Structure 1
Amino acid sequence: MKSIVLMMLVMLAFPGAHAQQSFSRVDQWLDSHADEMGGRLILVVYKDGKMIYSHAVNQMNGKQRMLARLMAERQGKQPDLNDYTEMTRQPIASCSKWLSAALVMTFIDDGKIQLTDTVGKFLPGLSKNGKGSITISDCLSHMTGILSPDLKEDLKEKRHAKNMDEIIEQIAAYPVEGAPGTVFRYSNTGLQIAGAVLEKISGKSFETLFAERITQPLGMKNTDFGKGAVALPAGGASSTPEDYIHFLTMILNKGTFKGKRILSETSIAQMQVNRITPDVRVAYAPTEAEEVGYGYGEWIMGNGTVSSPGLFGSYPWVNNEKGYCAFLMAFYLKNNGRQAKYAELRKLVDEQIR
């Protein structure tokens, strides 16, 4: 009897410790899936103004370590084989789309552009090639109607460009597969066009705008789109779990972060409206996000959950109903079964949130 009373007193005195302990099933899931998800994982969960969970796993085998060394060598860097931490920085691929869509929405809030504006108004080269009627909304929701090349070819073209105008010329030459707003094709194209529009109306680079409007006000000190000649808004960012949680916290808090208004509540709501209506044809969606909706820069998962998975395995999400956000950092390319894994993990975390 005394031991039961003592346990209850400890739980009352240290509620945070009890809450952390309740995540044991999440710990087990991460431990058991690390090997098939690149060998290293870290999951952080934020709720009610604080980090309520952080757990890292490092089970890298010889092959995974060798691949990490080869990738670092190609980039002219020293390989980092240490455990992931909340400060670990690495490429986040399509998790970038959420960040870029938010940047575009700051211009909507400022009244400098409208979602219904057509891109030909700012980029006449697209009008000359029959693509001027695409709207900003189409760009943010992957409904430009442009038949983009596969990812490998697309990135090869863009990385050789000297400036944003060259990339827009490339996009202008792509074929069309349907009227804007009628075909959903998940690609880099729409956000690249939107990024070019922002540069045209502001006279500043995408990277500068991103720093001024997103990373600086959100305290994201280790997040950027690189120092290349041209930013790739749809997949070119690198970030850390700590930084990305700052962004997710802003989304969760309806556009505010530490009392600062970054986006309007209206813009947050617009981003989370499913644009894939029954009359829209889905030409392509990645395997980790099939049969779910899409808003502006984020997938609509149902039950108040929104997300933006990355090609390399990182997975951010916000659960509006439960009032929390989370970021899973990983690095692996095999995407078989990813959607099911993400769903399992979300369910386990949901079950621990009170």
Structure 2
Amino acid sequence: MQVYKDGKPVYTKQTNKEFTLKTQAPIGSASSWLTAALVMTFVKEGKISLDDPIAKYIPIFEAYSKRYITIRNCLAHTTGIKADAPTAKGMTKSRFSSLEEEVISYAKREIEKNPGQMVFFSEVGPNIAGRICEVVGKKAFDRLMQERILRPLKMRGTNFYIDYSQAMNPFGGAVSTAIDLGNFLTMMLNQGRFETKEVLTPELIAEMQKIQTGNAPVKYMPKLAQGLDFGFGLWVLEKDSKGKATAVASPGIFGAWPMIDYCRGYAAFLLPKSMLGEQRSELYISIREAVNGQFQCKSE
């Protein structure tokens, strides 16, 4: 575990001497936070809009009567496309040989609800968004991620290409390191800036942390996130009187738990070597309470 304040680590707890700050570990669905950031780089450049229909970039969705689904729906898990709950095996194994092939299969699936009318946390939306990045950027997803997010943030130990014979998994396929997650969280905490680089703008960071699901009923959400509101790749842990997020997190199925507390001005993460599981949610809560006790909220 590590805690960052003012861009520097102020606390590090290492329980396994062989599991260092540079050791790679799968981060599960926390990968979708990175994917959401990648999408926002294209929004920053004006190459896509969050409210563009996905059929604008992947026409087969219109052919299967899914023309009203937007990129926003994809990042918010409100596409309405029939999906299964994510599993640890599904994060690292795919029966498809490419992201393009996998996304085409989504187009052929049944629609359970109209876009925006149901929340189902799954790989479907983020993977569609990742494929749109490929179409617009004219490069493979992993290369775009390297050029736009990982390289600018010096995340040298992070990648999505666990097995090149299978489709990339923008939703849950990343492996990362403690150092790399610290850099990403520092960028988010600093409103899109990392060292001298502007990766995202404060407006785009705010959009990612805005509650995106409205009053849509939840059909599936991991136990750890039940009762929380969802943004883009993250859950809102706390918000102020105006509804603005003041603390966010993106827990992954393998136990990775990156979070940011804007009110107290720190970022923290837990990166386990082995899967913790949803039954360990009380661990995250107790850790966060302990860290919160070390920093005063700016509004207090």
State if a TM-score over 0.5 links the two structures.
Answer: yes
From 190, 197, 201, the equivalent of 1:253 is: 190
Equivalence for 2:221: 285
Equivalence for 2:11: 53
How far is the alpha carbon of 1:153 from its aligned partner?
Answer: 11
How far is the alpha carbon of 1:152 from its aligned partner?
Answer: 4.7
Q: Does 1:310 align with 2:236?
A: no
Equivalence for 1:6: none
Q: Does 1:274 align with 2:211?
A: yes
| Counterpart code for 1:164 | L
**Seq. identity, %:** 38
The answer to whether the 8 A contact 2:235-2:249 is kept is yes
Q: Are residues 352 and 46 of structure 1, via their aligned partners in 2, closer, same or farther at CA, if it must alter by over 3 Å?
A: same
| Counterpart code for 1:196 | R
Please say which structure displays the higher CA radius of gyration. 1
Equivalence for 1:10: none
| Counterpart code for 1:176 | I
Structure 2 matches for 1:82-93, cutoff 5 A?
82-93=17-28
Q: Which stretches of structure 1, 4 residues or more, deviate above 6 A after TM superposition? A: none
The structure whose residues are more often helix, as a share, is: 1
Equivalence for 1:319: 261
The answer to whether the 8 A contact 1:158-1:167 is kept is no
How far is the alpha carbon of 1:173 from its aligned partner?
Answer: 2.1
The answer to whether the 8 A contact 1:276-1:293 is kept is yes
Alpha-carbon distance in structure 1 between the residues aligned to 2:7 and 2:150: 19
From 257, 278, 284, the equivalent of 1:335 is: 278
How far is the alpha carbon of 1:161 from its aligned partner?
Answer: 1.4
How far is the alpha carbon of 1:212 from its aligned partner?
Answer: 0.2
How far is the alpha carbon of 1:277 from its aligned partner?
Answer: 2.0
The answer to whether the 8 A contact 1:145-1:181 is kept is yes
Structure 2 matches for 1:75-114, cutoff 5 A?
82-114=17-49
Alpha-carbon distance in structure 2 between the residues aligned to 1:156 and 1:258: 32
> How high is the TM-score relative to the length of structure 1?
0.78
| Counterpart code for 2:37 | A
Q: CA RMSD in A?
A: 1.8
Alpha-carbon distance in structure 2 between the residues aligned to 1:203 and 1:150: 30
From 115, 121, 137, the equivalent of 1:202 is: 137
Alpha-carbon distance in structure 2 between the residues aligned to 1:96 and 1:48: 24
Count of aligned pairs between the two proteins: 287
| Counterpart code for 2:284 | Y
Equivalence for 1:265: 202
Structure 2 matches for 1:210-229, cutoff 5 A?
210-226=145-161, 227-228=163-164, 229=166
Equivalence for 1:239: 176
How far is the alpha carbon of 1:175 from its aligned partner?
Answer: 1.6
Equivalence for 2:122: 187
Equivalence for 2:242: none
Equivalence for 2:243: none
Q: Secondary structure at the match of 2:191?
A: coil
Gaps of 5+ in 2: 240-245
The answer to whether the 8 A contact 1:185-1:282 is kept is yes
How far is the alpha carbon of 1:343 from its aligned partner?
Answer: 1.5
From 82, 91, 100, the equivalent of 1:165 is: 100
User: Residue deviations 1:190-227, cap 9 Å, x none?
Assistant: 01101111111121000000000001000000101015
Equivalence for 1:347: 289
Alpha-carbon distance in structure 1 between the residues aligned to 2:168 and 2:180: 19
> How high is the TM-score relative to the length of structure 2?
0.91
Q: Which has the higher contact order (CA 8 A, sep 6+)?
A: 2
Q: Secondary structure at the match of 2:248?
A: strand
User: Residue deviations 1:61-82, cap 9 Å, x none?
Assistant: xxxxxxxxxxxxxxxxxxxxx5
Equivalence for 1:8: none
Q: Are residues 350 and 149 of structure 1, via their aligned partners in 2, closer, same or farther at CA, if it must alter by over 3 Å?
A: same
User: Residue deviations 1:288-345, cap 9 Å, x none?
Assistant: 1110010011111114110110101110000000011011011224321x33321211
User: Residue deviations 1:255-277, cap 9 Å, x none?
Assistant: 00002100011110000011232
Alpha-carbon distance in structure 2 between the residues aligned to 1:84 and 1:224: 18
The answer to whether the 8 A contact 1:125-1:168 is kept is no
Q: Are residues 152 and 249 of structure 1, via their aligned partners in 2, closer, same or farther at CA, if it must alter by over 3 Å?
A: closer
Alpha-carbon distance in structure 2 between the residues aligned to 1:154 and 1:51: 32
